[in-house]
Amino acid sequence: MKIEEVRSTAKAQRISAHSHVKGLGLEENGSAIPQAAGLVGQEEAREAAGIIVDMIKMKKMAGRAILFAGPPGTGKTAIALAMAQELGSKVPFCPMVGSEVYSSEIKKTEVLMENFRRAIGLRIKETKEIYEGEVTEITPLETESPLGGYGKTISHVIIGLKTSKGTKQLKLDPSIYESLQKEKVVDGDVIYIEANSGAVKRQGRSDAFATEFDLEAEDYVPLPKGEVHKKKEIVQDVTLHDLDIANARPQGGQDILSMLGQLMKPKKTEITDKLRKEINKVVNRYIDQGVAELVPGVLFIDEVHMLDLETFTYLHRALESSLAPIVIFATNRGRCAIRGTEDIVSAHGIPMDLLDRLVIIKTSPYTKEEMLNILKIRATTEGLQLETEALTELSEVGERTTLRYAVQLLTPASITAKINGRTVIKKEDVDEVCGLFMDAKSSAKMLSENDSKYMK
């Protein structure tokens, strides 16, 4: 008797710094639950972020900017990512770091504008006549080549499509066969073919084949409902940056030069202001006709103090544009000099006139109890088991040093426990790794005590 093990098709992903963040963790009335959706504490900051999420959903927030200000390791990036989770996958979220603008290939302002355009979505709705279903057969029929010789040419292709209501056989043009080959369509795939343009779109594999293999690389979709031939409203989500790129680099023909151009790694190209204005005109016309809808997303700029005076002045104009996303800045700096100037000191390293436009959300350092809860969540996310004493010891390490350092000690402590033949991390494992590694404060103390032994 053959017994087969059916494994889960969920893909195992790397655990990153914010894998545990699932949302803002707010109640219906907008008040923050002390510990929910992977976030702990920071109730005021989360409630403020919740109000901003509501404003974004109501489309009343475009062109405004928010600043998350707080010491390092107080959850600024975590709250920004939680906002992205609350908004859903259809709202564009574009994260960047202040130092990204210093590229050797393109101008600083171009990098900023590119990210601005990435954060603005356009939802295009079209009603199309389509043939949709699961492919039951693909049969290309050949005839003698009109050019003579031994070659044969495809005259037409027979394709069978099946839906929950019935099946249909279609006789298609040979050019559509090329599209089918490009999309790598095989029997069992769910596709749709546009009746007027002949464009073929593969939606995924039919979920009837879902348990075919232990390891899956496919997206499974249900068998389409209704008839094979139908009218369907197709919604496409694109960003303005996608439109810029599509128009800046038109696809070449089949000659050698254009094919070489596609093979070689394309250099970053600057998109002209003139082209963007033309695209904006078309986009605005679509919006006026009701064909498209603007979805202002979120541009998250971390370490905003790394921007200089030029980019700050450019941000003013970009924020006032009619097509502007919601901009969220984050910084852990106090009063410091503005980059690009020598003696102008300002709060958070941001000029006063830009600070004037921002709504500032404050994040505060975590208490010992909050650190303990965060460490508990991280241990669960990383699949580690800790004794209560070990958790308490780690939270004390976090209070003495930083939360980030305490979180980093989790995995080394689990390895130490494994070496000692245990699956559960004990207090002595935490003590052992604390003796092996140094945090920033103890490193600085050691340097000041042994100052003469180090080179200047």
pLDDT at 336 over 70: yes
Mean pLDDT of 360-384: 84
Instruction: Report the C-alpha gap between 430 and 391 in whole angstroms.
Output: 9
For the stretch 22-30, contacts whose Cβ atoms lie closer than 8 Å and that sit 24 or more positions apart, written own/partner, are 22/82, 22/85, 23/82, 23/85, 23/86, 24/49, 24/50, 24/53, 24/79, 24/82, 24/83, 24/85, 24/86, 25/82, 26/50, 30/54
- pLDDT score at 256: 53
CATH architecture of 35-119+297-362: 3-Layer(aba) Sandwich (3.40)
The CATH number corresponding to 368-449 among 3.40.50.720, 1.10.8.60, 1.20.1280.50, 3.40.190.10 equals 1.10.8.60
Asked if domains 35-119+297-362 and 368-449 share a fold, the reply is: no
pLDDT digits over 55-112, tens only?
A: 877 777 666 788 888 888 888 888 888 888 888 777 788 888 888 888 777 788 888 8
Mean per-residue pLDDT, 270-298: 83
Q: What is the DSSP track for 69-103?
A: E-STTSSHHHHHHHHHHHH-TTS-EEEEEGGGG--
376-401 confidence digits (pLDDT tens):
888 888 888 888 888 888 888 888 88
C-alpha 124/C-alpha 236 separation (Å) is 5
Report the CATH number of the 122-291 domain: 2.40.50.360
* pLDDT average, residue stretch 155-169: 82
Domain ranges of the chain: 35-119+297-362, 122-291, 368-449
